[in-house]
Amino acid sequence: MSRPPSPPPQLDGFDYVEPLGTGGFADVFLYEQQQPRRQVAVKVLLADRLASGAAQEFADEANVMAMLSTHPAIVTIYQTGVAADGRPYLVMEYCPRPNLQQRARTEPFSVAETLRVGVQVAGAVETAHRAGVLHRDIKPANILVTAYNRPALTDFGIASTTGAVDEAAGMSIPWSPPESFADPPRGGVRSDVYALTATVYTLLTGRSPFEKPGQRNSGADLISRIETEPLPPVGRADVPDSLMRLLARGMAKNPDDRFGSAVAFARALQKVQIELSHSVTPIDIVDDHPLDPDPEDDADGRTRVREVVQIDPGHTATRPSATTSPVLPASPPTAPGPRFDAPARTADDDETVIRAPQVIPPTAQAPVAPHPASVVPGSAPGASQSDPTVRRAPRTVDPVAAVPTATPSSAPPVEPPSAHTGSPRSRRGLVWTLAAMAAVILLVGGSVLAVNLLNAGAPSAKPTTAATAEPQDPLADLAPPPKDLVATPTGSGQVHVTWTNPSPQDGDSFLVTVVRLDGDGAPVKADAPEITIPAESGGKTCVEVVLRRENGSASSPVRGCTP
C-alpha cells in the first residue's frame, strides 16, 4: 500500500500546485515557477533519508542529470537547492503525460510506437554510457512522456560510473539481468542493455518479461525465472520473428551474448522498422563513433550511425550499382538456320579471335574429294549437299581476317576423275553447275560471316562487376533535411506548416507525417514547402517533414510542433 506524500516544502519563487508521485527516497510535486512562469516538477528528498547518506546520492543525481539533460530523451534539470526545512530538492521539466509503465498497463503499445520509443530511449542510454554513467534502473516507470509526445528518461538516483561492475543496489527486479543477483552482484553497459530490452518487451505485452498472469510473481519467483527460464514469447501475431530474435538477444542470460552497446540495440530496432516499411527513427547521439561497437550487429562491418535513405519502391534507378553487373542487350535475331555462338575461351585462345566451329550433320552422305579445279575458296558446307562428288571440310570463321578458311581434312585423298571424261555437253553443264554453286557459296558464306561478326561484337563490351567497379558512396545521393520548420495554428481547427528547401532541385517533393504518441499518421505528400493540416485535439500538433528527391533518395526527418 502506498504511503501518503510528505508535506510539500515552501520554495522561494515557486507556488505549490499538487502532488505527482511518491517513492522510496523522495516525493515529486507539481509547482508553478514564478519567473519565468512555467509548470515544473520538483523532486524532494524525504526527511528520514537525510541521515542515511541519501543527501549525497541526491546531489550526485542532480549532477548526472544536469550533465545529460540536454539530450532530447532525458528529463531536463533546471536547478537544485535546499528547502527551508533542510530537504534537498531538484527542479525538473514537467512531463504531463502518463509514464510508459502507466500506459503499458492500460493497453500494450503498437509495434510501430514500440520501435520508435525504443530507438529514442536507446539514444539516451548510449549518451549516458559515453559520458561514463550507468543508469542501473531502466524500466518503463522511469521513462516519462513530455508534452511533445517524446519519451524522457529520468531517475538517475542509483546511477554509477561504467567501471562500477560490482554494484547493483536499488535495482528493480522485474527488469534486471541475471548478473544483478550474483554474489557479488555485477553490472555494466550490457546490464543496461538488458534492462532497456526488457522495457521494450513490457511495452509490447503490458507486463514485465517474466511476470506470469494468474501465478505467484514475488521477487524470489521473478529472480528464479530470470536466471533459468527462456524469454517467453510476446503472444502477438503482429510482432515479427525478427523482433522476437532481437528481444531474445538483448535479454540473453550471458552478457557476452547481448548487444555490445545501446546504439547497437538501436540499430537493430531500425532494421526491424525498415523490414516493416515504417519510418526510421533517428538515433540521437552526439558522436557517431560508438563507445563499444558490436562486431556482430552489422554484417558489413559498418559501425557509424548514418542517416537512412528512404527508397521509393516504384522508382527505377538511373545509376549503375556498385554491387551488380549491367545486363547487356540480347543479340539481334538472325535468319532461320544454324547459329554460330562463340565457344568458351581457354588459356591457349587468341584473345582477339572468336571461332565458331561448323557442325556437319551426321546423316550427310560420305563425300568424295572434288577435282582441284572445282574447289572454290570460302565454300560453306551445305551449299551443295546434293552433289556427292564434293567433300566439304569443317570450317571456322576468323572475324579479324574477315575471310572464311577451310580446315584440312584428315581423310585420305581420293583419286580425282579425269578432266577429259564426258562429252563437251557434260563439261558445259559442269561449268554452269560450278558457277551456280559458287554464287550460292558466296551468298551463304557472306551470311555466315555477318552472323559471326554480330555475335562476336556483343561480348566486346566487358560488363562491370562488383570486383572491378569503382566503389560508390552510399550517402552520395542523400538529400539534405528541410530547415526552418514552423507550425502555426490558424484558429480554425487547422495548422499551417512551412519550411524551406535548402537545396531545391527539379522534381523535389515532401512527405509530411503527423507525430502522435499512439502511432504516427500516414505520410502526406506536398509538392511545395508548406501544407495545412487538421490540428490535433487536446494538445500540441507535431509533424515530421522529409525531403524526397526525384531519384528516390530522401533526407532525414525534421520535426516541429505548434507553440
Separation CA 300–CA 253 (nearest Å)? 27
Separation CA 277–CA 111 (nearest Å)? 12
Separation CA 443–CA 458 (nearest Å)? 24
Separation CA 437–CA 111 (nearest Å)? 80
428 given a catalytic annotation = no
Separation CA 376–CA 242 (nearest Å)? 73
Residue count of the chain: 563
* Those residues with Cβ within 8 angstroms of residue 352's Cβ, 6 or more apart along the chain or in another chain: 400
CB 190 within 8 A of CB 259: yes
Grid cell of 452 as nine digits:
559471326
Helices (H), 235-344: 241-250, 262-275
Rounded to 5 degrees, φ, ψ at 15 are: -110, 125
Under DSSP, is residue 494 helix (H, G, I), strand (E, B) or coil?
strand
**Catalytic member of 87, 136, 190, 249:** 136
415 φ/ψ sector (left φ>0, alpha ψ -120 to 50, else beta)? beta
Separation CA 98–CA 107 (nearest Å)? 12
Separation CA 131–CA 551 (nearest Å)? 40
Rounded to 5 degrees, φ, ψ at 299 are: -65, -25
- Name residue 488's beta-bridge partners: 496
Taking CA atoms, 292 is separated from 64, 211, 285, 495, in Å, by: 21, 31, 14, 43
Task: Name the CA dihedral angle for 119, 120, 126, 128, rounded to a multiple of 10 degrees.
Answer: -160
437 φ/ψ sector (left φ>0, alpha ψ -120 to 50, else beta)? alpha
* Those residues with Cβ within 8 angstroms of residue 325's Cβ, 6 or more apart along the chain or in another chain: 463, 464, 465, 466
Q: Any idea which residues carry the catalytic annotation?
A: 136
